[in-house]
Amino acid sequence: MRIVIALGGNALIKPGDKGTIEEQQKNISASMSGIVDLIKEGNQVVITHGNGPQVGARLIRNEMADTEIHPDPLVLCVADTQGSMGYMIEQGLMNRLNQAGERPNVATLVTQIEVNPQDSAFKKPTKPIGPFYTQQKALAKMKNDNWKMVEDSGRGFRRVVPSPMPLRVVNPEALNTLLSAGFTVITGGGGGIPVYRQSGKTGYQGIDAVIDKDLASVMIAQTIEADMVIILTAVEKVAINFKSDNPTWLDKLTSREAEHYLLQGEFPAGSMGPKIRAAVDFVKDDPKKVVLITSEDKLSEAIAGKTGTRIVQ
């Protein structure tokens, strides 16, 4: 099978971690067991990943250094974290494959993903990123840097940025070439680097935004005609009535059931919602395609059908 595995950015930084590189490398190594098993079984694997905590740290460094050097734009922070996290995941997977006696054919592909600059998301930024600010500093950022800021759960003010729909991978030939040569490919980190086609020109231009990682993962899966998407998250199964005293854990969901629960508000936009929407997009037109949602430590068990939630047409 050809499988896309989406790692969450929080998979690299656990609750209570300080976020050091050593901690992230340790967490990456621990999360590779199930992926190594899939590769050993002969599956072609593509790994995508989030970058929320990492790009947030990058933006804090921007803030702390803004009196000394010019801060980098958000699009460059996304590119930087895609490269640095790709390096750590690539190295961790190569080491685990070596230990398992497998050929460590792993490559990281820094990926640009085209978006529409007229996407309605650019008129209404909603994705919170980066550090918390006092109201005074938030007002200064809004005035001086033209940032959009919102108050976030009583913890201070945060910048919000657009989260446009991904349209296509800019370099699909490179991805398919690596897969055809037998490589496990790490790509689309942080949802990919958002770029748009310049009007009246043949080139591309980066744009400050954050593409949803799960939507980008499904688009990549569709691009390479993958059979399966695995979304690794903090829970081993999807649940309805999740915050109640008696949640219902689901082994399987049809796309119709998933859409029904989305309309009922069971899957909030800030947590499981984007994952379920991405899953429905992937399976709705093909009865052979499957999305599996589970936690990284339960991946092998979920592949064996012992846990996890499978979403099908």
Residues with catalytic annotation?
9-10, 127, 213, 275
**Residue 151: its H or E element:** strand 148-151
Chain Cα centroid distance, residue 78: 11
Q: Which residues of 280-301 are buried (b: 16+ CB within 10 A; e: fewer)?
A: bbbbbeeeebbbbbbbbebbbe
Cross-sheet strand order for the sheet of 148-151:
127-133, 157-161, 148-151
Token digits for 224? 């390479």
Nearest to 222 by CA among 138, 147, 144, 113: 113
Count CA atoms closer than 13 A to 255's CA, side-chain side. Answer: 17
